[in-house]
Amino acid sequence: MRGPRGTVERLDQPSAYFNRNKRRRLEKENRDGDNNDDANAHNDQPEEDPLKNATTLYVGNLSFYTTEEQVYELFSKCGEIKRLIMGLDRFQKTPCGFCFVEYYTHQDALDCMKYIGGTKLDERIIRTDLDPGFTEGRQYGRGKSGGQVRDEYREDYDEGRGGLGRALQLARERERENRQYNDDDYGRLK
Amino acid sequence: MADYDRRGGSSYNPRKRRYRDDDDHDRRGPPPAYGRRRFDGPPPHVRVRKQLIAIAENPMRSWHDEVTHIANLFTDNWDDELLRGNFVDLVLQLAVEQPLKTPFTAAVVLVANAAKPQVVDMLLAKLSSRIEEKIGAGEWRDVKLYLKLLACLQGCLEGEGVFPVLEELFARAVDLQTASSEDTIGTEIVKIILLTLPYVMVAAPGKWDQKAAELMDKTDIIASEPHQSQTLVDPYHPDPGDENPPQSQSLIGLLQTQLQHEANNGWTLSCLPRPWEFPLSEVEQRAKLEDAPKHALPPIKVPETVVTGPRPLFPEVYFSVYANQEVESVPPLSSAASSLIRDALVDTINVLDYNRNVTARHLIDLDCYFAPRTFAARATPFDKLRDIEPPKSTWKPEDVAVDAVFSQLFQLPAPEHKLVYYHSVLTEACKLAPAAIAPSLGRAIRYLYRNSPRMDLELAHRFLDWFTHHLSNFGFTWKWTEWVDDVYLPDVHPRKAFILGALDKEIRLSFAQRIKNTVPEPYRELISEEKEKDQPDFKFANDDTPFAAEGREIAALLKRKAPDEEINAVIQRIQSQAIDRDLDALVASTDVFVTCVLHIGSKTLSHVLAAIERTKDRLADAGAASDAARTQIITATMTYWSAHPGVALKIIEKLLNYSILTPETVIQWALTGLSGRTQGEALAAAHVYEMVFNTVVKVTGRVRQLASRPPSTAGDTDDAETREREVSAMRALFSAIQGALEAWESGKDVDMADGDGNGDAETRETVKRWAERWLRVFRRRATVEEAFLVEAKKERARRKEREEEEARKKAEAGDGDAEVVDAPAAAA
C-alpha cells in the first residue's frame, strides 16, 4: 500500500492490539472453514482495511482527573477536533482514563499518532491508537466494576487511576473485614 | 516484616533463573554447538539489509571495516538474486530516507565496484531515472538527496560525471530567473547545485577545481542577489529604533560565500566524512579502488519547464539560536560546515517525521556521520568549551542538533510539518540524552526569551507554544527565578506578555494549583483565584447584576429543557426592560441568554457543546439580528470564561463552525472592540492573537481546500463560483484585519483614546510596535495565500490539460468509452 518496506519503522501504524483482534477474527474464520486451503485463499483477497481512512483515535492511559479541556488543548495541535468522547465508568459515569478523539481528516489522525502518541498529557505518557470509529456504548469501561479492564487487577499503585486495581482493592477490603485486626497493627508495617 | 517477606519472595527468582539456565545447557549442549547455531543465522540478503541500514551508527566500529565488510558480504553472495536486486533499491531508499548515511552507502558501492562493477551500472540506471522523475515532479528535496548520492560516486564516473547534470539544471535556473524576479524555483535549483558541489569535491578530490570554479562563477549572480521576498521570511522583525538589529542572511547567499572560501582554500571541507578514503596502511584496498572501472552516467533529461512541486517554495534564511556567543558552540557563518551540517540534519528531520524516535537518535548521534574531530565530545558543558585548546573543535553536537530543529520550528512562512512534530523531536531528544540536551535547550530558551520582542510575532507565538508544551512533558520545571524582575513590568511589555501567555498555556495543559506550585512567589500573583475555581461564577447569582432574576430564570429553563415559548417570554421581558433603561435591547437579551447557555454548560466542553447544539437556532437568530448582538456573543463568552481564555477560544471556534459567528465578528471584536476598550493593550495578550490567528487559519484552510480540490463531476462552474466567493471573502477579511491594525500602527486610535488622559507616551509607543508586528504577520499570510492561489490555478490548468490529453488518447484508441476518462485523472 505504501510501496516498499521502509528503512525506518512508522509510528502511524495501528498497534498490535488492533492487529491481534483482526488476526483472531481471521483465525476464527479459518477454524470455521472446512478446507484450510480455501480459508487461505480467502485471506489473500485484499480485505477492506477499516482503518484506511480512520479519523478517530483511541487515547489511553489518561489520568482519571484529566479534563476534556486538557485533551482539547493538546490534541488540537494536530488539527481541529471534530468530536471528543471521554471514557466513563459504566456505573459512576466519571472519567475512567481513556477517550476517543475524532478529527476531520485522516491525515490529522495519522499525525497525532506520530507526534502526540507516547508523549505526556497531564504528566502521564499517553497511548494513541487508530480506531475504526466511535459507536455508542464504547464510551463505557468494560471492567467488572465499571472502569477499564486493565484497572481491575493492576498491581501497581497508580494515583491518577484510582490507586490499586479495583478488584484487588475490593479483595483487600474484604480480607480486612474478615480478619479482626485493628488497623493500628498494620501501621508498623509501612 | 513486609520487607522481609518481599525479599524472601524475590529470592525465588534467581533460583528459578539458575534452574532454567541448567535446563538450557541440557537442551543445547556444550558451547561449540551454540556457536554453530549463530553461524548459520539469517541469509545474506537479510544481513546486508540490516547492516546497510545501520551503517555508521556504531561509533565503536571503524568506517572502513564496516564498509568493506558490507561490500564483501554483498559481492561474495553475488549469485543470490534476491540480494542483488534488493541492494540497489535499498541504497536508493536510504539516500532519501536516511540522508546522513549517504556518504557511507556510497562508499559501500565504491568498494563493491572493485569486485562487481555491474552493480554500479545497475545503480546508475535506476538513480538517473529517479532523478529525472523527481525533477519532473518538482520534488526538489528528493532531487537533492539523489544528487548527493550521485556526487559521492563521482570518483567512479566516466567523463565529467555529475557536472553536466548540474550545468543543465543551472541553465533552467537562469531561464526562470531572467523570466521573473519573483521566481523561487531557480533559487531552489541553485541551492541544490551549491549543496551538491561539496560532495563532488570530496568524492574526487583535486580533479574538479576548475570545473567547480566555472560553475560557481555562474551561480554567483543568482545566489548573491537577495531574493525579492526575503524580508517576507525574515525571522526577525526589529524595531526601527533597534540599535543593533540582527542581520539575517539568505541561505544561498551564505552558501555561495562559504564555498568561495572553500575553493580558495583547496576545498578542505573538513567536516564531511570520506569513508571511501582508506588509510595508507591498506595498500591493497586503495589500489583496488584506484583501479576499479569507471562508468558512464546514463543521460538525465531536465524538462524544458520545471514545476514548483507539492511544496510551495520560498527563499530561506539561516537561523541560529546560538549566534554571537563568547565561545563558538556551533559552526560559524563563515564556515561551509554550518550550511552542510544543517542541510543534512534538516533533511533528516523533515524526511523522518513518521518516526520521531529515530530522528532524535540521529540528532544525538550526529557526530557519527561527520568527519572525526568535527565536534567536541558529546555532552561537554558549555562552560568547559572555553578550556578546549585551539585546533580542537568547540562545536557542541547537542547545540548543532537543537539549532537544526529550531531552524525548522522557526521557519517562515511555515515548516514542512505541523509544529508539534518539531516539539516532539525535541522532547524525544531530551528524553534520550537529558544531561546533554537539556542545558542546550536551556540556553536556546534564554536566547529566544531575550530576543522574542524583536522576532516576527508569529514566531514569538511559536516559541510560546513550544515552550509550554515542552515544559508539560518535563514536569513544568524551569528556572523561573531568572526572569523574576520582568514580573513587575506592565502587561503590555513583550516579555511580560510572554510570561502571562506562558502561565496561561501551562495551566491549559495542566491546572492552576499545579502550575502555581512550580513558579516562585512573585509569579503566583499572576495566577488569579478565579483560575483555581472549577467553574466560573454565574454573574446573575448576584442580585446587583442587571437582569439577575431573568438570568437565573433562563438558566433554570434551559436546565430543564423548557419549551422555546417559556424562554421567549423572559427574553421579551429583558428586552422591554432594556429599552426602558436606554440599553440596546438585542444586546442585553443576547448577553443574558449566552451567559446562561455557557453557565449550564460550564462543567465540560461536551456540556457546553450540547447546550449550544440545543440552542443553536436561537443563538443564530440573535447573531443575525444585529452586528452588536453578534459581537455580544463573543463578549459574553470571553467575559464568562475570562479566567480560562483557552476554553472561550474553543467555544468561539465551535460557534464559527455553526456560522453563529462570522470571521469578521471575531476580527472586529478583537481588533476594534476589545482593543478600543483597552487603548490597544489587548494586542499584547497572547490569547487575543491566538483567536485572530486561528480564525484566519480556519478561513484560509477552507480556501486552500477549495482551490486544490479536484473538479467535481457535477460541473466546473459551481466549483469556480464557490471558490471565487470564498476567495473574495478571504481577501475582505485580510483587508479588514489590515485596516484595523493600520489604525493602531498609525497611532490614531491611541491618540483618540488618549483624550481621556489615559495612557502615557511609552505605552502608546509599545502599542504601535505591537500593531506593527501584528500587521507584518497578517500581511505575510495574505501574500502567502495569494501565492498559493496562483500555484493552485496553474495546477488546475495542468490537471485539465492532462485530462484532455487522456481523453484524446482514449478517443484515438477508438474504443468509444471516453466517458470513463476521469477515473484515472482523478487519481493523478
Q: What's the grid cell of residue B642?
A: 475570562
Residue B304 identity:
E
Question: How close does chain A come to B465, measured CA to CA in Å?
Answer: 10
Q: Give chain A's mean pLDDT.
A: 84
Output b/e per residue, B523-539; b: 16+ Cβ within 10 A. beebbeeebeeeebebb
Q: What share of chain A in percent tops pLDDT 70?
A: 77
Task: Render pLDDT for B415-443 as a digit per residue (tens, 0 to 9).
Answer: 999 999 999 999 999 999 999 999 999 99
List the alpha helices (DSSP H) in B180-248.
185-203, 209-224
CA distance B505 to B764: 27
Specify the higher pLDDT residue, B812 or B75: B75
Residue B22 predicted with pLDDT over 70: no
CA distance A168 to A164: 7
Ranges A22-26, B764-768, B823-827: which has the least confidence: B823-827
∠ Cα A36 A41 A43 (to 5°): 95
Q: How confident is the model at residue A36 (pLDDT cuts 50, 70, 90)?
A: very low
| Residue A9 backbone phi and psi in degrees, to 5 | -65, 145
Q: How confident is the model at residue B510 (pLDDT cuts 50, 70, 90)?
A: very high
Name the most confidently modeled range: B6-20, B302-316, B680-694: B680-694
ipTM: 0.90
Q: Bridge partners of A83?
A: A102
Ranges A133-137, B240-244, B389-393: which has the least confidence: B240-244
CA distance B104 to B276: 8
- Taking residues B737-749, what's their average pLDDT? 88
Best residue of B424, B515, B657 to probe chain A, by most A CBs closer than 10 Å: B424
Residue B810 predicted with pLDDT over 90: no
* pTM of the predicted structure, to 2 decimals: 0.90
CA distance B394 to B390: 8
Q: How confident is the model at residue B710 (pLDDT cuts 50, 70, 90)?
A: confident
Write out chain A residues lying below 8 Å of B648, CB-based. Answer: none
Q: How confident is the model at residue B712 (pLDDT cuts 50, 70, 90)?
A: low
Residue B828: the pLDDT is 38
- Taking residues B143-170, what's their average pLDDT? 97
Task: Render pLDDT for A40-79 as a digit per residue (tens, 0 to 9).
Answer: 444 455 567 888 899 999 999 999 999 999 999 999 999 9
The dihedral over CA atoms of B723, B726, B727, B731, expressed in degrees to the nearest 10, equals: 170
Q: Bridge partners of A59?
A: A99, A128
Find cell 532523478 and name the residue. Answer: B131
Task: Render pLDDT for B43-64 as a digit per residue (tens, 0 to 9).
Answer: 889 999 999 999 999 999 999 9
Residue B781 predicted with pLDDT over 70: yes
Write out chain A residues lying below 8 Å of B2, CB-based. Answer: 189
Write out chain A residues lying below 8 Å of B475, CB-based. Answer: 123
Q: What's the grid cell of residue B137?
A: 515532479
Task: Render pLDDT for B619-666 as a digit per residue (tens, 0 to 9).
Answer: 999 999 899 999 999 999 999 999 999 999 999 999 999 999 999 999
- The verdict on a CB contact (< 8 Å) between A7 and B354 is no
Find cell 493600520 and name the residue. Answer: B742
The dihedral over CA atoms of A17, A23, A28, A31, expressed in degrees to the nearest 10, equals: -150
CA distance B249 to B599: 53
- The verdict on a CB contact (< 8 Å) between A77 and B604 is no
Measured in whole angstroms, the distance separating CA A84 from the mean position of its chain's CA atoms is 15
Residue B105: the pLDDT is 98
Residue B822 predicted with pLDDT over 50: no
Q: What's the grid cell of residue A97?
A: 482514563
Residue B774 predicted with pLDDT over 90: yes
Question: How close does chain A come to B282, measured CA to CA in Å?
Answer: 32
- Taking residues B370-393, what's their average pLDDT? 95
Strand-strand pairing, A56-60 and A81-88: unpaired
Residue A185 predicted with pLDDT over 80: no
Residue B758 predicted with pLDDT over 90: no
B250's enclosing H/E stretch is: strand B249-250
- Taking residues A102-117, what's their average pLDDT? 97
Question: How close does chain A come to B746, measured CA to CA in Å?
Answer: 35
CA distance B635 to B605: 18
- The verdict on a CB contact (< 8 Å) between A70 and B650 is no
- The verdict on a CB contact (< 8 Å) between A73 and B508 is yes
Residue B191: the pLDDT is 97
Q: Which of A106, A108, A107, A129 is nearest to A117 (CA)?
A: A129
Cis peptide before B413 (omega within 30 of 0): yes
Task: Render pLDDT for B655-694 as a digit per residue (tens, 0 to 9).
Answer: 999 999 999 999 999 999 988 888 999 999 999 999 999 9
CA distance B703 to B692: 17
Write out chain B residues lying below 8 Å of A8, CB-based. Answer: 97-98, 352, 354-355, 358
Question: How close does chain A come to B536, measured CA to CA in Å?
Answer: 14
Residue B717: the pLDDT is 74
Q: Are B373 and B395 in contact (CB under 8 A)?
A: no
The beta strands (E) that lie in B600-681 are given as: none
List, as own/partner pairs, every contact residues B670-677 make where C-beta atoms lie below 8 angstroms and the sequence separation is at least 24, other chains included.
B671/B737, B671/B740, B671/B741, B671/B744, B672/B740, B673/B631, B673/B635, B674/B638, B675/B740, B675/B744, B675/B749, B676/B749, B676/B753
